[in-house]
């Protein structure tokens, strides 16, 4: 499990990255990140929706009500232009950090 701080820091870039693959909705985002992390990242509903709404307010993502296959209404989120820019900035930072770790740990263990 990730620490609270790391979850807080990674939620926005993860949402941006997930949405860069196409529009999605809250429930699916939670499931997808859970699957990709091998059940190690489990977002709570109470945490995700406030973040989604804040990101929408920031102009990073847009939302629309749509209909699911079973006829139920769902709120879909998609990436906006500013969101793509934000993702690019965040991505560079995460790549930098993970690059440093990779080098350090390779030196250590090889």
Partner 1 sequence: MSNFDPAISAWRRQMLAAGIKSPALLDELESHLREDVEQGMRSGSTAQAAFETAVQRMGQADVLKAEFKRAGKMNGFSRINHNRLYATVLMVFLITLNLLNLVPTRGLSGMQLSAWLEQGGGKNASNGLLGIYSEFTSGGFERCALGGLDIIPVFFRPWAAALGVFYSLAVGLTLCSRILHPPRAAD
Which residues on adjacent β-strands are paired with residue 73? 67
Q: Which of 88, 93, 98, 103 binds partner 1 (CB under 8 A)?
A: 93
Contact 64, 75 (CB under 8 A): yes
Site string for partner 1, 20-39 (x = CB under 8 A): -----xxx------------
By C-alpha distance, which of 73, 76, 67, 83 is closest to 23? 76
- Of 40 and 54, CB closest to partner 1: 54
Size of site (CB under 8 A) for partner 1: 26
Site string for partner 1, 41-70 (x = CB under 8 A): ---xxxx-xxx-xx--xxxx----x-----
Cα 48 from Cα 25, distance rounded (Å): 11
- Of 17 and 90, CB closest to partner 1: 90
Q: What is the dihedral of CA 61, 63, 66, 72, to 10 degrees?
A: 100
- Where are the extended beta strands (E) located within the chain? 24-25, 61-67, 73-79
Residues at the contact surface with partner 1, assessed by CB under 8 A: 25-27, 44-47, 49-51, 53-54, 57-60, 65, 72-75, 82, 86, 89-90, 93
């Amino acid at each position: 499990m990730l620490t609270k701080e790391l979850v807080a820091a990674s939620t926005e870039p993860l949402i941006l990255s997930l949405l860069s693959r196409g529009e999605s909705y809250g429930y699916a985002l939670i499931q997808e990140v859970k699957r990709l992390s091998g059940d190690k990242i489990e977002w709570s509903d109470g945490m995700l929706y406030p973040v989604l709404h804040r990101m929408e307010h920031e102009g990073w993502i847009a939302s629309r009500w749509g209909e699911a296959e079973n006829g139920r209404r769902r709120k879909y989120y998609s990436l906006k232009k500013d969101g793509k820019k934000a993702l690019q900035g965040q991505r560079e930072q995460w790549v930098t950090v993970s690059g440093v770790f990779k080098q350090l740990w390779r030196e250590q263990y090889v």
